[in-house]
Amino acid sequence: MAHIDQVLGPADDTVTFFQPRAMVYVTMLWVTAAVWAVCLGLHILVRLAIGDAPSAGELVTYLEVALVVPVVVAAAILLLAWRRLGWLHSSMHGLDFAATGRKPVHLPWAGVATVALRRWGPFTELVVTPVAEDFATVGDGPGRRPRLRRRAGEVSYLVDVGLMSPGPEVLLAELHRRLPAKV
């Protein structure tokens, strides 16, 4: 009679998806720069509206601030999230995942009802819906509770995957490859 490990195949068939720190930094940089530029622009417009036009020296200072602040803020955000960036492991044992800053969750394949993507670009989220809420095991460790979405009596876990490598579409294809066929 065959041993169960021989029937299941190799124990190390894990596929890992993660958020590269450089990609997170660049994304945080352009988002911060866009918000900061709008704030500075509004500040200058308000000054112009009340009749207090900035001098040439003040405009140079605004430009310096516009270039430096987003770099520093993006670096600070990355340092705060350094060891807490989102990840996902898909293996024969099930699905393990954690959103940025959240506790990890383990879900066996038999407990996964559906997986889907929502939103687009860096804001893409993976929606993992278990068959029942008690199928999921929340792990120990640092971080806040996993992000949940409750709709029509269903509980789903949300994972930020927009910046994951190799990409959300590849991640979804891997999950669909592993999901047991529903009859």
- CA 71 remoteness from chain centre: 21
| Residues 39-58: tens digit of each pLDDT | 999 999 999 999 999 999 99
Element housing 106 (H / E):
strand 105-107
Start and end residues for every CATH 2.30.29 domain found in the chain: 15-19+85-178
DSSP for residue 123:
G
Give 144's DSSP letter: B
Is the pLDDT assigned to residue 102 strictly greater than 70? Answer: yes
Q: Which two tokens stand for residue 90?
A: 């898909």
Q: Check: CATH 2.60.40 for 15-19+85-178?
A: no
Question: Which residues are paired to 155 by β-bridges?
Answer: 150
2 within 8 A of 149, measured Cβ to Cβ = no
pTM for the full model? 0.73
The reported pLDDT for the residue numbered 26 is 92
* Position 1 confidence tier, pLDDT thresholds 50, 70, 90: very low
Give the pair of three-digit tokens for residue 66.
């516009």
pLDDT higher than 80, residue 182: no
Per-residue confidence band for 168, with pLDDT thresholds at 50, 70 and 90: confident
Angle, in degrees to the nearest 10, between helices 21-49 and 56-80: 150
Per-residue pLDDT tens digits for 130-139:
998 888 999 9
The helix/strand/coil state of 177 is helix
pLDDT at 68: 95
Cis peptide before 130 (omega within 30 of 0): no
pLDDT of residue 140: 87
Residues paired with residue 149 on neighbouring β-strands, in sequence order? 156
Residue 181 zone, left/alpha/beta (φ > 0; ψ -120 to 50; rest) = beta
pLDDT tens column, 124-167: 999 999 998 888 999 987 889 999 999 988 999 999 998 888 88
User: In the predicted model, what is the mean pLDDT of residues 83-100?
Assistant: 89
